[in-house]
């Protein structure tokens, strides 16, 4: 009986949760150090419930790691996400045990902005963006993406709108943390998406509806619906879901277009403005990058502006057409199409054009070789 005493006590302690621990092993198979890269773990795989308990996540050095629960449109959380650091060709582990998690500084944000003609605006710690809503209909808006440069990892979107609308402090002027110098007009802006049919780019207009699915602190997700997307002589419906992760160079976008089936390509585009910037397109790794001079509304130089697009599926063509740089890929009506888009600034992380293009190419490689997660 004495020999049975310890195993029996240990079993009771494990059942009670005092020794319960879940080990999350993250493996990097690439030759690139993965720093601050998002990892997602299904709660069903972890076999834990956050309904009545809280948990603390720690790295192998026993330091607390901040995380976010994501709901994916459900009432209960579906997954846990956190930023992992894994050296090249190695693995590291994180432990999840009962306890009080640390408070996380928000690094992503999304908001519908009715006071500014129905913008949908979002950001992460790299950059801020917006797309245009119904209240702007009379100003010929597009379904392109606008970009706000920032040089801080703090959230800036809310304050910029408040200052511009209510305090007379324009976000077109740099007050120390960045500004809006980017122009969209009726184009795809910094990485918008449009059908390419019969040799023509069918740029859309404003979104019809929006739905915010997640709002930070590490991931923000929202869906835009375009009820009447004109393609040649037909109209389609498009749903575009955008995912902004902390630390991620580009936004992830998932498009689904429904309507009459026809031969179609989708084009991810970059507005070239004056067309004298530095353009690099690489069909092999699915990237298109652009670098140009940034000027404020008053024509004050504001460094270098960068835009990037990445298509993980097969790219058919990469070319310039009119005032766009385009990359096209085949698309079947009703299916999901995933691509990535975003922008950067020489005053925040990317001092030179080469730094931006290098980061874009590395983004392509790591996205095609995601970190592997196992549960023990």
| pLDDT recorded at residue 366 | 97
| pLDDT recorded at residue 21 | 75
Convert the pLDDT of each residue in 320-353 to its tens digit: 999 999 999 999 999 999 999 999 999 999 999 9
Q: What is the pTM of this model?
A: 0.94
Q: Using CA atoms, how far apart are residues 218 and 69, in angstroms rounded to an integer?
A: 9
Q: Using CA atoms, how far apart are residues 227 and 239, in angstroms rounded to an integer?
A: 9
| pLDDT recorded at residue 20 | 56
List CB contacts of 226: < 8 A, sequence separation 6 or more: 143, 204, 205, 207, 208, 237, 238, 239, 240
Asked if the domains at 20-103 and 109-368 fall in one CATH topology, the answer is no
Structure tokens at 305: 């502006």
Neighbours of 230 (CB within 10 A): 14
| pLDDT recorded at residue 82 | 98
CATH class of 109-368: mainly beta
Structure tokens at 291: 């670098």
| pLDDT recorded at residue 217 | 98
Domains in the chain: boundaries: 20-103, 109-368
Judge contact between 337 and 331, C-beta under 8 A.
yes
| Fold held by 20-103 | Immunoglobulin-like (2.60.40)
List CB contacts of 253: < 8 A, sequence separation 6 or more: 193, 240, 241, 242, 243, 338, 339, 340, 341
Positions of the chain with pLDDT lower than 50, given as ranges:
1-19
Neighbours of 42 (CB within 10 A): 12
The residues pairing with 237 across neighbouring beta strands, listed in sequence order, are 258
Judge contact between 216 and 106, C-beta under 8 A.
yes
Q: List the one residue out of 74, 78, 171, 166 whose CA is nearest residue 121.
A: 171
The residues pairing with 305 across neighbouring beta strands, listed in sequence order, are 292, 345
Judge contact between 347 and 149, C-beta under 8 A.
yes
């Amino acid at each position: 009986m004495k020999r049975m005493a310890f195993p029996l006590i240990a079993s009771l302690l494990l059942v009670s949760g005092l020794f319960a621990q879940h080990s999350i092993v993250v493996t990097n198979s690439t030759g690139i150090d993965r720093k601050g890269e998002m990892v997602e773990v299904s709660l069903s795989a972890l076999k834990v419930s956050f309904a009545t308990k809280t948990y603390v996540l720690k790295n192998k050095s026993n330091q607390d790691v901040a995380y976010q629960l994501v709901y994916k449109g459900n009432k209960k959380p579906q997954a846990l996400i956190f930023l992992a650091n894994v050296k090249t060709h190695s693995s590291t582990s994180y432990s999840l045990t009962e306890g009080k998690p640390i408070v996380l500084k928000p690094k992503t944000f999304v908001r519908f902005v009715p006071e500014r003609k129905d913008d949908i605006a979002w950001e992460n710690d790299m950059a801020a963006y917006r797309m245009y809503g119904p209240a702007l209909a009379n100003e010929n808006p597009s379904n392109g993406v606008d970009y706000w440069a920032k040089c801080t990892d703090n959230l800036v979107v809310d304050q910029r709108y408040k200052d511009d609308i209510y305090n007379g402090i324009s976000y077109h002027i740099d007050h120390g943390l960045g500004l809006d110098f980017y122009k969209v007009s009726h184009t795809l802006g910094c990485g918008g998406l449009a059908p390419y049919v019969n040799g023509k780019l069918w740029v859309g207009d404003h979104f019809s509806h929006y739905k915010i699915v997640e709002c930070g602190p590490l991931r923000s997700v929202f869906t835009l619906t375009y009820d009447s997307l004109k393609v040649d002589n037909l109209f389609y419906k498009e749903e575009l879901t955008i995912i902004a992760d902390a630390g991620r160079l580009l936004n992830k976008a998932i498009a689904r277009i429904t309507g009459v089936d026809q031969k179609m390509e989708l084009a991810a585009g970059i507005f070239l403005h004056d067309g004298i910037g530095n353009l690099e397109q690489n069909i092999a790794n699915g990237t298109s990058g652009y670098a140009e001079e940034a000027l404020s509304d008053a024509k004050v130089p504001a460094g270098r502006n960068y835009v990037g697009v990445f298509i993980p599926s097969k790219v058919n063509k990469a070319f310039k057409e009119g005032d766009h740089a385009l990359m096209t890929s085949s698309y079947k009506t009703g299916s999901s199409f995933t691509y990535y888009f975003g922008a950067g600034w020489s005053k925040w992380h990317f001092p030179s054009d080469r730094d931006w293009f290098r980061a874009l190419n590395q983004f392509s490689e790591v996205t095609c070789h995601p970190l592997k997660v196992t549960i023990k």
